Structure 1
Amino acid sequence: MMSINICLLMVAIACVIASVAANSPHEREVELELAERILDILEDEKRMGFDAANLVATGKRSGEMVLEKDYALKQQYYYQGIDKIAGSDATAAIAYTDYTPTHAEEIDNHTTVALVALEYILDQLGVPLDDLLKKNRYSAILSEWRAQFEEYESKTTCTTAEQDAEYRSIDGSCNNLNHFDWGKALTARVRMIPEAFSDRHGLYAPRKAANGDDLPSARYVSNVMARYLPDLANTPLDNVRTVALTGWGQFIDHDLTETPLSAGYAGAAIECCTLPENERRQRPQCVDIEIPANDTAFLPNRTCMECVRSAGILEDFGEPGRRAQINELSAFLDASNVYGSETERAEEIWDHQTGRLIEKLPGYPPEDAEEGACVKNFDLIPYYCPKAGDRRASDIAHLTVFHILFLRVHNDLVTRLSIMNCGWSPEKLYQEARKIVGAILQHVTYNEWLPLLIGEDQMDKHFKDNYKYDETIQASILDAFASAALRMGHSLVTAHMGRMNEKFEIIDILLNREAFLDPYLSFLSIEEVMRWVVSAPGQESDRFVNQDFLDFLFANMGIPLDLVSINIQRGREHGLGGYAAYHEECGLGKIRDWGDLTDHLAPTVDALKLAYPDGSVEDIDLFIGALSEKHTEDAHLGRTFACIFERQFTRLRDGDRFWFENADFPNRSGRKRGMFTSDQVESIKKVKLSGLVCRHYNLETIQENAFKVPDPNDRMPCKDLPGIDLTPWEE
């Protein structure tokens, strides 16, 4: 039948061509369009000659063969001692904090199979992915794809009881009643602009330069753009914002996003730089960073910096698509950093007899006994690795103090609620305290922290109106936010952590290079550390990063890394578009040549030209280009990062059914109620972070906004700062 159709179409084309010369110009135009359409039909007929089931099955088998080969290679490197189970060196420490759970490893493997299969199908059809997704033309192939890959899907089903639940799920599922997986842990991050992968079909290979060449080494770009030459150890201080701004940023980062890495055999940490270069190129997980020959900061003859690819995922395995990244956490601002995003961990850290979070020492979390959970390089005092909802509680002291703070807040709430409502069960006490803590995190973030980053003008423009839940908004994490914008906080981190006495005098400092992932300082004197965190100025938000993060990241555990290089490389391997593409997406203007960089000072433009010497302005990485922008008035960010922040925080608020201000809380049964009563909401809105710090760290005085550097006259007695009034919770 197909051959008859083709013959008839060929005859039709011949007739059209023969008549073109004899007709009027308009008729010739119509007939040429008809001929082009007939050619399209012929091409479709040719493609429909493929057996869809066989085509997809062959592609899938190809993917499975690639996966089997990769598995054998991982096994080989594990038994050779190249890849190692988490231990005490820097790579293993990163492997612990960027932990790859079994489910994420399975998703990563499924992604490998799916992408190889898709590449095979596109090669056979000779079409780009966007054409394949035109369902009216390739419906048979798309249907067959869904049939053969639906086993990789793990779509959530929510019972009526789960949809009617008063409290959030731990993993973020069932928040949106039409899309149960939106914002759920272990789902794909979403894109703000199309992917910029460099393989022939644009599916998975890290971004390259606009002309197809390799981009300059991420370490080279870091050295040019992030190194503050007047003082290698200390970049300029911020005279407005305290270290607490940075610590809180990392705290909520660990509430919103974590990217698991590709794992080796038996969950081992993959190592690349110990292999010869030709072998590294054979490992798809290796996206290691070239160290320039003239780099004097690292050891002589060191040419490679470790960087392992993030675990992959498809946004929907039921449809062909490009590689995306897994968000291991629930995407909502829900205090998962305190309580966990996976049921097993969440259940391990609270006491089912009392509703309290478990304490090993009074006011301190339980111990995380897992290998590599933290580093303990000091022997002056006994201490341990604290276990919180998020695995990274020991990363740095200005983060650990907030984990300990909210353990204390939760347990204080449970104690007070149990006295007020003696009939409440431990489960209800735990859930109500968890619900209040989540609301406090939301309130502090949007009312005290975010305005100091994006500025009051942007807050008034985007967040001034009363909240209203919108079920059409997907409250998932933008990859541009997690892989670039939120990492601007690395520019704010001081070179050291410190302690202050009751007179707010610095009594001790500890260089970060000596204490990465080491909670020693927090156990030595947590109150003195917190006093320093809420009083000492952070670093200015600019393109510069302190030397401890450029040359000594995790140096206390082995071979040091460069955090800025990793940020740049991570953006490239995630397929983030260049800075210019995001600038345009935000409506800030097109950037086509160096003269269009009007959001940058002239010396910064010169530095960018040096960092990307052989390329186009379109090669500039998002992290570097946006971080180095001039700030807008009263903001801590340039316009591009401010745009990404605004879009992300709009999603987090307006797409969250459990947002604390939601007065019209819908459920599947049709009943509507507020997340909290109006009196409870007003009580939450009176909370200040400084008041919580006072109550739970035994301070006597503090400034009203813990994120603002205080003058001596700004401090007020702690008794004048209200805590949360729980009267509206009394039953």
Structure 2
Amino acid sequence: MSTAPHGRAPWFVQLHDRLAVAVDHKIGWQNLPKPLGLLTLVGLRDNLRRKNLFDTGSYPSCNLPEVGPPDARDLTGRTADGTYNDLANPRMGMSRSRFGRNVPPEHAFPEPEPDLLSPSPREVSRALLTRHAFVPAESVNALVAAWLQFMIKDWVSHGQGTMDRPWHIDLADDDPWPAPPMVIPRTIPDPTRPDGDDGLPPTFLNDNSPWWDASQLYGNNLDEQRALRTGQGGRLRVPNGPLFPDDPDKDPAGIPGFWLGLAMMHMVFLLEHNAICDTLHDAYPTWSDEELFQRARLITAALIAKIHTVEWTPAVISHPTTVTAMHANWYGLLGERLHKLFGRLSRSEVLSGIVGGHTDHFGVPYSLTEEFVAVYRMHPLIPDDWSFRSAADDSLLQEATFRELTGRQAYDILGKHTLTDLIYSFGTSHPGLVTLHNYPRFLQEFRRPDGKLMDLGAVDILRSREVGVPRYNEFRRRLHLLPAQDFDALTDNPVWADELRRVYGGDIERVDLSVGMFAEPRPQGFAFSDTAFRIFVLMASRRLNSDRFLTTDYTPQVYTQTGLDWIENNSMSSVLLRHFPELRASLRSVDNAFAPWTAAGPR
């Protein structure tokens, strides 16, 4: 059980951190001039690094999966399962390792029943999440929602749950749910924890490798990876329809969460990987299929990390201070221009960025955390109703509900329209704002591929409670934020305050984390809450800091100079235009591909 100090921080660092927290409480980082706001965010991040990283891997363990012996190839390439990123601790960040925590162990226990089920997750969903009218996030386009799901599939998964002792949710008399009670699978217990009460909170396994390694494209083990490759020129299979038409058990459409937006992102980056392979082959014509594949994987994963850091995140939290801060994570405060001209000018991550610097776990082995998963539950981004239009002239091609975009039905849409038109349609429409009363109605009545009906709004609420993520006010305290004193202080919407008071029986301490985050006022330019942002401040940089392939091994010797140039000279816009040049007219109107595009006119 450890937190993150490199030893005791120097007195002036501790003083800066204390001042940052005090100024944030008194004024708010978002209300400061940009230079002072950036200094405050640096202090907040340092404070979180020292106090909010907890290693669950140190808890008692048994039945750990085997780790193969080291191989010389592990020095310069990512393994299929995430092992050997840290050569001194090969298990760190491997698939099927534990989620970490951002709150101390004593605050990570789930509440005992019946408190855990109170108030009813279903009633919270019905009363506070139900979308009566779509509220758009007008500063971004719907590619934001597709991209987020694409990232989640890389980073985290608790699996599909188990029906061994499922949760039973009692329903109100007026609830239209077809078959009471509502039955929700439990999160799969951690098979690597020995039986017996060791006095520590429960742990759960992450089915995915939490590294930024594009495992959603390449698989989480060697068998998956081999099945996805062509075996020639390093290339990946690009499907025309289902990825595994002859093996439905491998079809990603059979896994809950598969939808059109996710399929589109997969297609784009399968094409991008193959384009990188072709470029590497031209530069290194004697390289084998394996060498081309491994280098192209490194380059593709780093390009995805860059797009998320300097394009997606600044689009969804477009406050001027956070836009600069996210660019500084990659390039440093000295900026992109100096970075491209001279490379790293300083060892400081603040001045020259994290990428290409030294690897740092801040005293705690790398993992993604249960709190990270909780704040990334952003289903309100999904609209219920979709229009697909022609990139040539904006003419209407089809209207569809979100339900028609999910599961295997996504293949029908992909077969009916070109990817150019589908991407254009996403780029010229808005996602939803992450707020109360904006949860997709089709996800409150979601039928899984196995036929089970689920209210994902209720599931989201229950999952955070089940794994011991604190409720809203306690979460804020653990993240060094002031708690809401009452419902009127939590939200600036008096109608919502009354609804919250009624659902939670007047007890502000019972408000669930996601409900509180959806209700609170957002900083300028934010599509989600400032409370969620605190986990981003900590974990967005940690995904870069801990990964040697984005720090000490971000070099020409590992990536090739061709690979580094590809990463540095490309963006989401250039990726889209490489494969879909017909989008040029619409993309010309934006600096960031996740901002709303101009609709095409008649030609």
From 492, 497, 517, the equivalent of 1:605 is 497
Match of 2:471 in 1: 578
| Counterparts in 2 of 1:649 and 1:368: CA distance versus 1, 3 Å | farther
Residues 220-369 of structure 1: pairs in structure 2 closer than 5 A: 220-229=123-132, 231=133, 235-263=134-162, 270=163, 285-296=165-176, 298-299=177-178, 302-313=179-190, 320=198, 321-361=200-240, 366-369=243-246
| Counterparts in 2 of 1:161 and 1:238: CA distance versus 1, 3 Å | same
Between 1:249-258 and 1:429-438, the stretch displaced more is 429-438
Q: Does 1:442 align with 2:305?
A: yes
TM-score by length of 1: 0.64
| Counterparts in 2 of 1:243 and 1:541: CA distance versus 1, 3 Å | same
Q: Contact 1:175/1:657 (CA < 8 Å) preserved in 2? A: yes
Residues 391-540 of structure 1: pairs in structure 2 closer than 5 A: 392=255, 395-455=258-318, 456-461=320-325, 463=329, 464=332, 465=350, 466-467=353-354, 468-473=357-362, 474-482=365-373, 484-488=374-378, 490-501=379-390, 502-517=392-407, 518-519=409-410, 520-525=412-417, 526-540=419-433
CA distance in 2, matches of 1:332, 1:577: 25
Match of 1:33 in 2: none
Match of 1:588 in 2: 481
Identical counterparts, % of pairs: 20
Q: Contact 1:292/1:303 (CA < 8 Å) preserved in 2? A: no
1:316-357 per-residue CA deviation (whole Å, 9 max, x = no partner) reads 769943311211011011111111111111111102233211
Q: Contact 2:439/2:457 (CA < 8 Å) preserved in 1? A: no
CA distance in 2, matches of 1:510, 1:683: 37
CA distance in 2, matches of 1:444, 1:577: 31
Secondary structure of the equivalent of 2:579? helix
**CA shift at 1:650, angstroms?**
1.7
| Counterparts in 2 of 1:372 and 1:386: CA distance versus 1, 3 Å | closer
1:174-213 per-residue CA deviation (whole Å, 9 max, x = no partner) reads 112333222110011011114578xxxx86x55568xx58
Q: Contact 2:382/2:440 (CA < 8 Å) preserved in 1? A: no
Secondary structure of the equivalent of 1:576? coil
CA distance in 2, matches of 1:549, 1:516: 10
Decide which structure has the larger Cα Rg and report it: 1
**CA shift at 1:552, angstroms?**
2.7
Q: Does 1:636 align with 2:527?
A: yes
Secondary structure of the equivalent of 1:432? helix
Q: Does 1:183 align with 2:93?
A: yes
**CA shift at 1:224, angstroms?**
1.2
Q: Contact 1:365/1:407 (CA < 8 Å) preserved in 2? A: no
Q: Does 1:646 align with 2:537?
A: yes
Secondary structure of the equivalent of 2:597? coil
Tell me the number of residue pairs that the alignment of Structure 1 and Structure 2 aligns: 507
Secondary structure of the equivalent of 1:237? coil
Between 1:314-323 and 1:524-533, the stretch displaced more is 314-323
**Aligned residue identity for 1:217:** S
**Aligned residue identity for 1:343:** L
**Aligned residue identity for 1:512:** F
Secondary structure of the equivalent of 1:341? coil
CA distance in 2, matches of 1:169, 1:556: 31
Between 1:183-192 and 1:577-586, the stretch displaced more is 577-586
**Aligned residue identity for 2:474:** A
CA distance in 1, matches of 2:556, 2:427: 37
Match of 1:30 in 2: none
Q: Does 1:152 align with 2:78?
A: no
| Counterparts in 2 of 1:392 and 1:303: CA distance versus 1, 3 Å | closer
**CA shift at 1:422, angstroms?**
1.5
**Aligned residue identity for 2:167:** V
Residues 30-49 of structure 1: pairs in structure 2 closer than 5 A: none
Quick one: higher RCO (CA 8 Å, sep 6+), 1 or 2? 2
Q: Does 1:665 align with 2:541?
A: no
Q: Contact 1:188/1:325 (CA < 8 Å) preserved in 2? A: yes
**Aligned residue identity for 1:507:** L
CA distance in 2, matches of 1:219, 1:434: 42
Match of 1:543 in 2: 436
- Structure 2's unaligned 5+ residue stretches are 1-57, 333-349
**CA shift at 1:629, angstroms?**
1.7
CA distance in 1, matches of 2:459, 2:256: 21
**CA shift at 1:611, angstroms?**
1.9
Q: Does 1:691 align with 2:574?
A: yes
Secondary structure of the equivalent of 1:692? helix
CA distance in 2, matches of 1:150, 1:214: 29
Secondary structure of the equivalent of 1:312? coil
**CA shift at 1:585, angstroms?**
2.2
CA distance in 1, matches of 2:450, 2:400: 16
Secondary structure of the equivalent of 1:223? helix
| Counterparts in 2 of 1:352 and 1:712: CA distance versus 1, 3 Å | closer
CA distance in 2, matches of 1:306, 1:214: 13
1:608-651 per-residue CA deviation (whole Å, 9 max, x = no partner) reads 112212x6211111111112221111221211111112222121
Q: Contact 1:208/1:214 (CA < 8 Å) preserved in 2? A: yes
**CA shift at 1:506, angstroms?**
3.1
Aligned-residue Cα RMSD (Å) equals: 3.2
Q: Contact 1:244/1:398 (CA < 8 Å) preserved in 2? A: yes
**CA shift at 1:487, angstroms?**
1.0
**CA shift at 1:155, angstroms?**
6.4
| Counterparts in 2 of 1:700 and 1:550: CA distance versus 1, 3 Å | closer
From 624, 642, 645, the equivalent of 2:515 is 624
